[in-house]
Amino acid sequence: MDKKPWRYCLEVQDLSAEYGERAAIQGINFAIQPGQMIAVIGPNGAGKSTLFKAILGLIPRQRGEILLHEKPALPQRALMGYLPQVEDINHDFPVLVQDVVMMGCYPRIGWCRRPGPTDHQSVRQALARVDMLPYAETQIGQLSGGQLQRVLLARVLAQDAHLLLLDEPVSGVDTASQQTIFALLDELREDGKTVVIATHDLNCVIDRFDQVLCINKRMIAYGPPNVLFREDILEQTYGHHLMIVQVGDRHLVVADEHGRPTRTRRREE
């Protein structure tokens, strides 16, 4: 990976995108330094997946600019790795695990070239990093949800992207898979990769992420979790009441089951 000291890996400036005539997201502004791990949070339908697709050029922008390493992002698409939500994957498609991971190499080698020994080695190394090498010749329909998620992450690793956009990478997976995925993401961050994750797990955000982007069709706030996790910001983001409870050195985010207004509380045990 190029070690040039860019000030920002990714800059999103006044981004708005729409599906047909329906506005999906608008007024999104943030910048990410290289090697940071960023959480994107918001309720279902807030535009988290739309944001990723707009950054990747998979849907058209209404307005705004997206820069990768201080240059327009779209011509550098090969430097951006994308992990979609696992439910968007056709589990019945007759393809082997190793073939899925090899798809991550194609942005680098080109779709018209046959993979060489170096590419096959990259696939094996990526599968080994997510503890899925023994399943290399397994059809993806035979995998559990957690195993499939790790295979999709291996595909991103094989691409050797500078920016990773991961849409709910630990949603619905078992605890062991979550630990494997986050341990790997920590390694990638230490290697200088920039990781952006859409997630619903607010407790995880408090413990693991450098910055958090709160959106609900529009940008609500962007900054460190310990600054943004306040009652007013969370209510603007989610539209219902949450509270933050401190237990020892951990912060837990709890929804008010009855929908009653509640103040943010912190207590120690």
Average pLDDT of 208-234? Answer: 92
- Look at residue 268 and tell me whether its pLDDT is greater than 50: no
Average pLDDT of 247-253? Answer: 62
Closest to 24 measured CA to CA, from 55, 46, 40:
46
What is the structure's pLDDT at 245? 67
What is the structure's pLDDT at 18? 82
- What's the predicted TM-score (pTM) here? 0.85
Tell me whether strands 22-32 and 250-255 are parallel, antiparallel or unpaired: unpaired
Q: 198 is written with which tokens?
A: 């859409």
Measured at the CA of 258, the angle between CA 254 and CA 261, to 5 degrees, comes to 75
- Look at residue 112 and tell me whether its pLDDT is greater than 90: no
**Amino acid present at 120:** H
The structural domains of the chain, with segments of one domain joined by +, span: 10-238, 239-269
Measured at the CA of 120, the angle between CA 78 and CA 92, to 5 degrees, comes to 80
Query: In CATH, which of 3.40.50.1100, 2.60.40.420, 3.40.50.1820, 3.40.50.300 is domain 10-238?
Result: 3.40.50.300
CB atoms within 10 A of CB 202: 23
What is the structure's pLDDT at 174? 78
pLDDT, one tens digit per residue, over 185-216 is 999 998 899 999 999 888 788 888 999 999 99
pLDDT, one tens digit per residue, over 149-168 is 889 999 999 998 999 999 99
